[in-house]
Amino acid sequence: MIGSVIFINWLCLSLLWSFSLKIKDASIIDIYWGFGFCVIAWSCLLFTYLGGDLISTSQWIMSALISIWGLRLTVYLAQRNIGKGEDYRYVKMRNASKKDWRFVSYFRVFMFQGLLQVIISTPIFLIFSKGDQIESSTLTAISIIVFSLGLFIETLSDQQMKQFRSDPASTNKIMNHGLWKFSRHPNYFGDFLQWLAVFILSLNTGTLWGILAPCMMLFIFLKLTIRILENAQIKKRPEYSDYIDSTNMFFPSFRENK
């Protein structure tokens, strides 16, 4: 089943890559990022059903959690990015590429993100391949609570940033209000909590391998995404360094800003 699910996601990524060449915009992969996990979860659900196996409570909950997270992120990024042109990160990669960008983008952008999706989907694969070995209602309840908290934090911080950017007076200012007062990236922290919840739910399988999901997301945020974003902010707004000095990067802190 897992091999078939990976193939379906690969096919979707390849078709998306082909479309990106037509519109000359590799950044559409960002919109697919969340939806790709929905494809993986739904495919697992479909193959389980077609295989004649009874779909367990944990499998239904896993599918629901991934769907809520993935669809919310997809809609948010689609509304924010569509019509804005290719993201500066991919423009920079395209201009710096010394080889045919078509092949570079396929492997370095689309297939690389596909590989990350497979690794992060470990708890999904565990739930659908091993089933419930522990059947702990406590673990299930904790996962739902942690997920709900993460969803609330991510949704609220995204909405606060959206409102901030919509105000012309905020063009050259730094967002340090609301949840952004306690963390420079509260949206990513909320995202991490949701994947931590997915891992907690996967503990019903009796294995710990699902920890790969939150660990990988944490690595992506701390070592890749945030570093790129903040370097760009410092170049654009030198005063961003003061925000860095006064506010935690990822995990929220309730200390007063300097």
Count: domains in the chain: 2
CA dist 108 → 23, 68, 186 (Å): 18, 28, 28
115 and 175 housed in the same domain? no
115 and 144 housed in the same domain? no
What domain range is 238 assigned to? 134-258
Cβ 178 vs Cβ 156: under 8 Å: yes
225 and 254 housed in the same domain? yes
166 and 216 housed in the same domain? yes
4 and 127 housed in the same domain? yes
90 and 206 housed in the same domain? no
- Domain limit, last residue, from 101, 131, 161: 131
21 and 118 housed in the same domain? yes
- Domain limit, last residue, from 92, 108, 131: 131
- Domain limit, last residue, from 131, 147, 179: 131
59 and 113 housed in the same domain? yes
Model confidence, pTM: 0.92
CA dist 65 → 44, 58, 61, 235 (Å): 14, 10, 6, 37
Own/partner contacts of 219-223, CB < 8 Å, gap of 24 or more, are 220/116, 221/185, 221/188, 221/191, 221/192, 221/250, 222/249, 222/250
123 and 188 housed in the same domain? no
Residue 26 C-beta-side C-alpha neighbours within 13 Å: 21
pLDDT tens for the chain, residues 1 to 258: 899 999 999 999 999 999 999 999 999 999 999 999 999 999 999 999 998 888 999 999 999 999 999 999 999 999 999 988 998 889 988 998 888 999 999 999 999 999 999 999 999 999 999 877 777 899 999 999 999 999 999 999 999 999 998 888 888 889 999 999 999 999 999 999 999 999 999 999 999 999 999 999 999 999 999 998 999 889 888 889 999 999 999 999 876 554
Cβ 41 vs Cβ 120: under 8 Å: no
Own/partner contacts of 176-181, CB < 8 Å, gap of 24 or more, are 176/243, 176/246, 176/247, 176/257, 179/153, 179/252, 180/247, 181/247, 181/257
26 and 122 housed in the same domain? yes
Kindly calculate the radius of gyration of the chain based on its CA atoms and give it in whole angstroms. Answer: 19
What are the residues whose beta carbons fall under 8 Å from the beta carbon of 61, sequence distance 6 or more? 140, 143, 144, 201
